[in-house]
Structure 1
Amino acid sequence: MFGIFFKKNSKKSYNTRLKSNRFVSFKKKQRGKTEEKDRSLELLNSALGPEGCKVPIRKLRCCSSSLRWSRKTLNKNQEELTILLECDATLLDAVQKHLKVYKIRRKVGITPCPDLSLWTILPFEQSSKTGSALEVNEKKVVVCTRDPRTDAMGWRLVLSKIDNPLDIVPESHLGEIQDYHRYRYAIGIAEGVKDLPSGEAIPLESNLVYMNGISFTKGCYIGQELTARTHYTGVIRKRLMPVQLGNPLPPNSVPEKAQIVSESGKSAGRLRSYMGDVGLAMIRLAFANEPLQLRTAGDARVQLKASVPDWWPSEENK
């Protein structure tokens, strides 16, 4: 389960639930000698990269997006490290299968965690900063940390399903999942298989390097050399950007990968996903500052404006 909080000035907050994300845990199994070094977690860390938004890369395409959390537990009076991997629920089986490829013969358990629920705590205002530290009841919290992608996405909270998040975060209120999606669309955060299609989304074009999603110090992974070279040379001609539509559109009223054109009719990109009058689109940077139009069913056109998120690096905000 997954859910959200909306938080304002550490006094009021809103939350909701939805069936979108699931957890997979990696647990280091005990060996005969506790002093023996177990490299299984190191192999997993190499596959997953630094803590944050993880993207296993295959042929320079994203096969899934996920977030990783670490926690320590006690097993037979010995400390044990468990890594929680948050992923799109529709890709749960595929993610497990993919990660087991890197398990090889190491004693690492990879299992789903249906007993956990995920919540996100968000500020009311769309900002790159979320204010003061979050106050929670730590006794029942599995994980509570800032979202590693950007401070604008607030905090990530992992609880047992039997616990009520309203008891964990003081003075909070339930919100709607539509508010969560509209919020992240407005600030340009892609999440899940809908925004990052498996086998299609290119990590650098999807801004994953800005979201702590690509490591340029770990290796090796398939496509690492080309990904690094593209990053350091700066040759990126299109990016996934937040877009504002001229008027709200009903759900499923726009064809998949609808074309975006300039006023002169030149192809400027493709719509990736939307909700109401906000969404995400793959935009050619040469047309990012121009008035654009979205082609809908029947070749009707809707005015569209792309924007650069304020949490992107300063050189991209010029």
Structure 2
Amino acid sequence: MATVPSSHPALGCVRLTHLAALDVKGVDAEKFLQGQTSAQVSLADGCFAPLTCFCTPKGRMLANAQLLRLSNEHFRLLLSTTLVDSLASHLKKFAAFYRAELILQPNLTFIGASVGAQTLADQLGLQLPDNVGTHSNSELAVSLQCLGETPRFIFCFDDANNDATVAIQDDDAGRNAWQLEDIRSGLAWLTDAQQDHFLPQMINWEALGGISFKKGCYTGQEVVARAHFRGQVKKRLMRVSVETTALPEAGASLVNSDDKSVGEVVISAPDSLGGIELLAVMSTKIAEEMTPIFLSGLLATLLPLPYPIERVDPEQLAVSLNS
């Protein structure tokens, strides 16, 4: 048995139970996805894995995901476990008109790794990807490099097809550390609690290269583009710390000194100092006016994000990775 190194208290190898996969296969898989997702699907070339999202006709997000091409007619979407079934049901209404099949992958294992990543890659016959947002594949597994100050990787594989069964560390401390790194990277994976709530820009998706403004139509495209070009986005994802050990539920309100709601929690995780950090969608006036904000009666502190709120075209990201 090949054994994954023990989970590190900071960023070691840990099972990521919050992630799931939805595969799209078939002759028309690319054409089908092109009409549904915010990504320029052709950019998913077997190396670059663009961030993407799926929207309602009103531009509200049903799910956000990362798009990997595993072969010419085989794509994989990585997204929240809580949204994979509803997204599959939504997309099946459109897939019926294409030679494309949607396949849930409930038996896939997801491991997040920083410390020990090279060991795990060797066990699975993988090369570690060199750049954030790129992936490598073997017959056994996929490895994807994620955002983060420390290089970190998601491994995805099916135990049933893996001759060297991998023993998995499965602890909350490791998962909390992984999600804290997502928060510090300004990366929010939506769950069913936020489905149909936000425009993509409200979670800074265009600043992470998750929206192509150069592709053709897709469901919700007109609303998303209008909000961008007319500057109509009045809420943004912000990073916040609070001196408490109590993690708020997704959707919990942040309020101003008048007890008026000014935002809602998307994701939170404990830090190493006895407090918590979180990402919340809040009114842009909060940062502009330095308004005091509170969570459950406790003063919250705005923290910087590691990127500017500017449009990043995925087409430019793809070019930079190939240059």
What's the TM-score once normalised by structure 2's chain length?
A: 0.70
Q: Secondary structure at the match of 2:305?
A: coil
CA distance in structure 2 between the aligned counterparts of 1:303 and 1:4, rounded to whole angstroms: 39
Q: Secondary structure at the match of 1:210?
A: helix
CA deviations 1:279-312 (Å, max 9, x no partner) are 112222222162623141xxxx211112331223
Contact 1:5-1:120 within 8 A present in 2 as well? no
Partner of 1:272 in structure 2? 266
**Where does structure 2 lack aligned partners over 5 or more consecutive residues?**
45-49, 117-127, 271-275, 313-323
| 1:117/1:173 CA distance change after superposition, 3 Å | closer
Q: 1:236 aligns with which of 220, 233, 236?
A: 233
The answer on 1:85 being equivalent to 2:77 is yes
CA deviations 1:224-268 (Å, max 9, x no partner) are 2231122123332220111011x123235x795323215x76654
CA distance in structure 2 between the aligned counterparts of 1:315 and 1:208, rounded to whole angstroms: 9
CA distance in structure 1 between the aligned counterparts of 2:6 and 2:227, rounded to whole angstroms: 37
CA distance in structure 2 between the aligned counterparts of 1:273 and 1:204, rounded to whole angstroms: 17
Partner of 1:157 in structure 2? 155
- The share of aligned pairs that are identical, in percent, is 17
Map 1:83-122 to 2 at 5 A: 83-122=75-114
Q: Secondary structure at the match of 1:312?
A: coil
Deviation of 1:115 after TM superposition, in Å, equals 3.5
Partner of 2:198 in structure 1? 201
Map 1:261-300 to 2 at 5 A: 261-262=256-257, 268-276=262-270, 277-288=276-287, 290=290, 292-296=292-296
Q: 2:22 aligns with which of 24, 33, 45?
A: 24
CA distance in structure 1 between the aligned counterparts of 2:233 and 2:254, rounded to whole angstroms: 20
Greater strand fraction, Structure 1 or Structure 2: 1
Deviation of 1:39 after TM superposition, in Å, equals 4.0
The answer on 1:225 being equivalent to 2:222 is yes
Contact 1:291-1:304 within 8 A present in 2 as well? no
Q: Secondary structure at the match of 1:280?
A: strand
**Where does structure 1 lack aligned partners over 5 or more consecutive residues?**
29-37, 73-79, 125-130
CA distance in structure 2 between the aligned counterparts of 1:229 and 1:146, rounded to whole angstroms: 32
CA distance in structure 2 between the aligned counterparts of 1:144 and 1:120, rounded to whole angstroms: 10
Partner of 1:42 in structure 2? 31
Contact 2:54-2:62 within 8 A present in 1 as well? yes
The answer on 1:64 being equivalent to 2:63 is yes
Code of the residue aligned with 1:94 in structure 2: it is S
CA distance in structure 2 between the aligned counterparts of 1:4 and 1:211, rounded to whole angstroms: 31
Q: Secondary structure at the match of 1:274?
A: strand
| 1:210/1:85 CA distance change after superposition, 3 Å | same
CA deviations 1:44-98 (Å, max 9, x no partner) are 23323234222111012111122211112xxxxxxx5211112222222211111
Partner of 2:174 in structure 1? 176
Deviates more, 1:173-182 or 1:200-209: 173-182
CA distance in structure 1 between the aligned counterparts of 2:205 and 2:144, rounded to whole angstroms: 19
The answer on 1:212 being equivalent to 2:201 is no
Root mean square deviation, CA, Å: 4.0
Larger Rg: 1
Map 1:244-263 to 2 at 5 A: 244-245=241-242, 247-252=243-248, 256-262=251-257
CA deviations 1:83-124 (Å, max 9, x no partner) are 111222222221111121221332222111233222333489
| 1:105/1:271 CA distance change after superposition, 3 Å | closer
CA distance in structure 2 between the aligned counterparts of 1:4 and 1:219, rounded to whole angstroms: 45
CA distance in structure 1 between the aligned counterparts of 2:305 and 2:63, rounded to whole angstroms: 23
CA distance in structure 1 between the aligned counterparts of 2:221 and 2:203, rounded to whole angstroms: 16
| 1:166/1:173 CA distance change after superposition, 3 Å | farther
CA distance in structure 2 between the aligned counterparts of 1:100 and 1:270, rounded to whole angstroms: 31
CA distance in structure 2 between the aligned counterparts of 1:286 and 1:123, rounded to whole angstroms: 40
CA distance in structure 2 between the aligned counterparts of 1:26 and 1:88, rounded to whole angstroms: 16
